[in-house]
Amino acid sequence: MSKTIRIGSGAAWWGDRVEPAALNAERGQLDYLCFETMAEATVSAAQVRARRDPAFPGYDTYLDDRMRAVLPACMRQGTRIVSNQGWINPDGAAQRIVHWLRELGFRGVKIAAVNGSLITERVLQLTDRILENGEPTHTLAATLISAEAYLGAEQIAEALRQGAQIVVTGRVADPSIFMAPMMHEFGWDPLDHARVGAGNGIGHLLECGAQVTGGYFSDPGFKDVPDPWNFGFPIAEVEADGSAVITKVAGTGGAVTLQTVREQMLYEVHDPANYITPDVVVDFTTARLEEIGPDRVRVTNIGGKPRTATLKVSIGCTEGFIGEDMFFYAGPGALRRAQLARRILEERFRIVGLEAEEIRIDFLGINAIHGEATPADAPEPYEIAVRVAARTRTREEAVKVGREVDGMAVSGVAHTGKRVPHQDRTREVIGVWSSLVPREKVPATVNYFES
Amino acid sequence: MKVLLQHVAHARSGDKGNICNIAVFAYTPALYPLLKSQLTEERFKAHYGGAIKGEVLRYEVDNLDALNFVAHGALGGGVSRSLCLDNYGKALSAAILGFEIEVPDALLGELRGRDLLQQEH
């Protein structure tokens, strides 16, 4: 029988659950366990925090939880780990993993840290235009926090070739984290776009964890899945041509079906024939899906086209603040009282001279989620939360939102329910812009550590 | 008869910057042509009212019985700038399930959640 490798998911984002990762490590019979823990603004938020808090190590704040949960089983079974938990400090994350390995009694384990994605100091020289608005990137100079290129799988595969048991990275494109083991195990040439494309497509199916095994899917009466409190994270059984079976540990909740797989296949995809990653351009329009057993979907024929000459760069900038708060109405007439409360707030924002780029006053229960897409004839609910938010240039302006909501307690409308403020009602906005950089200008470097 | 799209298709939304993609999947291959002919870019955008500020592009993904709608300017400036509580727009895909679509009698047997049809009418 031809070689098959088993790649499992350990996380789909920073806040993801840890228990399914531990289960995949224990019972997934995995060759590789891969973690995706970053969002668009993760790097910039980490930079802001690192400036304020010198004790912040700059890697995934759940690194300890995740590693303690999976290291024993992974080390016992020879499962290798690929993870982007390095955030802005892959070396630091690798050293922390060394600490846990020693603590658990595993000595002589090789760990690689992939650096090089951070290009904050060079980004204005290396890039030309902002993709979203066509302006020169140097217009961001005054507000720039951080810039990082999305690296591909090549350096991870190289680290695996060098014998690293665990590879921890900074910013790497999400599917590449899951594809790198395929590239290494099957010896794919990085320019073999057919196989790399197929593998990246499978990586895309894995990168959002439970979203392919029944998470973000249940819709009672239409799309029901068993035990949605106990989703298993996905496992791909991958073959040398980049085809794979998507499955999960037996006995876990959720489901792997044609429906769950195709929903994930188009998740965050724009042109399905041209899904651009650092490694390849993936074509999902040729893919074939087949249910070959319970919770087993075979995925073949995902296409690939040659990779682009550039890498995507994310540029995080300070863009002011958001002030936000809410208060509540219930019972007969709740909507009328909420409407009067909105009118009072609008007037008071004028009185205090709130300078805002945008103000939003929603009725949670009616239009706070779908906004202007809410049908005009939506029924009046029994309870309504009035939710107020404004985006401002300064924190002083943002504070006014919460202060005026405070005023609604005794100077507002009958039957107003309100929380005593117990948390900061302002937050900083880190705007994220995109640009492109020639790929040869962003060389990755790998540092090795041993437990 | 006219039914809500939720009986014909399922949907998922995802974010990239200020762009939201909403993929709509026919429950069965026989229902897919209904999506293609009735759920046009124009009607999709109109259904979202002012919530989509920019253009909508529709990709036909025949191998998945799916239409992928790419809605520009749908996320209030992007995840970090948005004043919407659902700043990722993860719930936006549900709105299109309220679109009304005409289903010929011969295909009524293909619909999902048929016990709910009565109370919607």
* Same domain assignment for residues A174 and A245: yes
Q: Is residue A145 part of a domain?
A: no
Any domain includes A41: yes
Contact between A198 and A304 under an 8 Å Cβ cutoff? The reply is yes
Give the separation between CA A356 and CA B66, rounded to whole angstroms: 41
How many CB atoms are located within 10 Å of the residue A4 CB?
Answer: 14
Among the three residues A289, A308, A327, which one is the final residue of a domain in this structure? A308
- Cβ distance A429 to B91 less than 8 Å, yes or no, reads no
**How large is the average pLDDT for residues B4-15?**
97
Q: Note whether B25 contacts A39, CB cutoff 8 Å.
A: no
Q: How far are the Cα atoms of A20, A354, A404, B56 from residue A344, in angstroms, in the given order?
A: 48, 14, 10, 37
User: Which of B51, B66, B92 lies at the smallest CB-CB distance from A262?
Assistant: B66
Residue B121 confidence (pLDDT): 67
Number of domains present in the structure of chain A: 2
d(CA A21, CA A289): 26
**Which CATH number belongs to the domain containing residue A380 in this structure?**
3.30.70.2750
pLDDT tens for each residue of chain A, 451 residues long? 589 999 999 999 999 999 999 999 999 999 999 999 998 878 888 988 988 899 999 999 999 999 999 999 999 999 999 999 999 999 999 999 999 999 999 999 999 999 999 999 999 999 999 999 999 999 999 999 999 999 999 999 999 999 999 999 999 999 999 999 999 999 999 999 999 999 999 999 999 999 999 999 999 999 999 999 999 999 999 999 999 999 999 999 999 999 999 999 999 999 999 999 999 999 999 999 999 999 999 999 999 999 999 999 999 999 999 999 999 999 999 999 999 999 999 999 999 999 999 999 999 999 999 999 999 888 899 999 999 999 999 999 999 999 999 999 999 999 999 988 888 999 999 999 999 999 999 999 999 999 9
Phi, psi torsion values for A236, nearest 5 degrees: -110, 130
A347 in any annotated domain: yes
Q: Which of A264, A318, A334 is nearest to B12 (CA)?
A: A264
Residues A335 and A274 in one domain: no
Contact A371 B84 (CB under 8 A): yes
**Is B78 within 8 Å of A431 when comparing Cβ atoms?**
yes
DSSP 8-state symbol, A46: H
Domain residue limits at A396: 315-433
pLDDT, residue B75, reads: 95
**Domain membership flag for residue A438:** no
SS (H, E, C) A15-31: CCCCHHHHHHHHHCCCC
Q: Report the distance separating Cα A294 and Cα A248, nearest Å.
A: 10
Q: What is the pLDDT of residues B66-82, one digit of tens each?
A: 999 999 999 999 988 99
Let me know whether A179 and A79 are in one domain.
yes
Compute the distance between CA of residue A139 and CA of residue A119 in angstroms, rounded to an integer. 17
Q: Output the pLDDT for position A420.
A: 84
Interacting residues of B64 by C-beta distance below 8 A, sequence separation 6+: A262, A265, A266, A272, A284, A287, A289, B25
**Which of A214, A306, A309 shows the shortest CA–CA distance to A259?**
A214
3-state secondary structure A130-196: CCCCCCEHHHHHHHEEEEEECECCHHHHHHHHCCCCEEEECCECHHHHHHHHHHHHCCCCCCCHHHH
What does residue A123 show for φ and ψ, rounded to 5 degrees?
-60, -35
Helices A334-351, A395-411: axis angle to 10 degrees equals 130
Report how far Cα B34 is from the mean position of its chain's Cα atoms.
13
Q: Considering the domain boundaries, does residue A97 fall inside one?
A: yes
Structure confidence at residue A45 (pLDDT): 87
Cβ <8 Å between A270 and B51: no
For residue A72, the model assigns a pLDDT of 98
- Inspect the interface and report whether the beta carbons of A266 and B17 lie closer than 8 Å: no
User: What span, in angstroms and rounded, lies between the C-alpha atoms of A420 and B12?
Assistant: 37
* Pairing relationship of beta strands A310-330 and A417-418 according to DSSP bridges: antiparallel
Helix, strand or coil for residue A413? Answer: coil
CA neighbor of A327 nearest in space, from A361, A370, A372: A361
Q: How far apart are CA A173 and CA A317, in angstroms?
A: 20
> How far is CA A117 from each of CA A50, A166, A283, A415, B13, rounded to the nearest angstrom?
17, 19, 26, 54, 28
Whether B41 contacts B56, CB under 8 Å: yes
Q: Which among A308, A340, A365 is the end of a domain?
A: A308
Q: Are residues A341 and A201 part of one domain?
A: no
- The residue written with tokens 């990653």 in the block is A277
Closest approach of chain A CAs to the CA of B53, in angstroms? 10
Give the closest-approach CA distance of B93 to chain A in angstroms: 10
Residue contact B91–A370, C-beta within 8 A: yes
Nearest CA in chain B to A360: B83
Tell me if B63 and A371 make a contact (CB, 8 A cut-off). no
b/e per residue A305-344 (b: at least 16 CB within 10 A)? bebeebbbbbbbbebbbbbbbbbbbeeeebeebbbebbeb
Q: Do A272 and B59 touch (CB under 8 A)?
A: yes
Both A90 and A36 in one domain: the answer is yes
Read off the pLDDT of residues B77-114 as tens digits, 9 standing for 90 and up.
998 899 999 999 999 999 999 999 999 999 999 999 99
Please indicate whether, in this complex, the C-beta atoms of B48 and A430 are within 8 angstroms of each other: no
Identify the three-state secondary structure at position B107: helix
Are the beta carbons of B10 and A219 separated by less than 8 Å?
A: yes
Identity of residue B63? N
Query: Is residue A405 situated within a structural domain?
Result: yes
Chain A within 8 Å of B8 (Cβ-Cβ)? no
∠ CA A33-A34-A36 to the nearest 5 degrees? 155
Chain A residue closest to B48 (CA)? A373
Alpha carbon distance A246, A190 (integer Å) = 24
Same domain, yes or no: A70 and A162? yes
Cα of B62 to nearest chain A Cα, Å: 7
| pTM as predicted | 0.96
A290 and A251 share one domain: yes
The pLDDT assigned to A143 comes to 95
Question: From the centroid of its chain, how far is CA A306?
Answer: 26
Counted across chains A and B, CB pairs separated by less than 8 A come out at: 134
pLDDT at residue A42 in the model: 86
Alpha helices in A61-106 (DSSP H): 63-77, 90-103
Query: Is there a contact between A270 and B68 if contact means CB atoms under 8 Å apart?
Result: yes
Q: Are strands A426-438 and A310-330 parallel, antiparallel or unpaired?
A: antiparallel
Looking at the structure, do residues A303 and A388 belong to the same domain, yes or no? no
pLDDT of A1: 57
Both A68 and A9 in a single domain? yes
- The alpha carbon of residue B28 is apart from the nearest alpha carbon of chain A, in Å, by 10
> In chain B, what are the domain boundaries?
2-102
Position A314 scores a pLDDT of 95
**Inside any domain, residue A35:** yes
Average pLDDT, stretch B8-12?
98
Are residue A340 and residue A420 in the same domain, yes or no?
Answer: yes
CA torsion A189-A153-A200-A275 (nearest 10°) is: -110
* Same domain for A368 and A319: yes
Interface-testing mutation among B4, B44, B56, B61, with chain A (most A C-beta atoms within 10 A): B61
Structure tokens at A133: 């608005």
Q: Do A208 and A250 belong together in one domain?
A: yes
A-contacting residues in B 78-97 (Cβ below 8 Å): 78-81, 83-86, 90-92, 94-95
Residue with tokens 């196989």: A195
Q: Return the pLDDT at A2.
A: 82
Residue of B12, B22, B60, B62 to mutate when probing chain A, most A C-beta within 10 A: B12
Nearest residue on chain A to B13, alpha-carbon basis: A267
Q: What share of chain A is helix, strand, coil (3-state, %, to 5)?
A: 35, 30, 40
Q: What is the mean pLDDT of residues B38-44?
A: 98
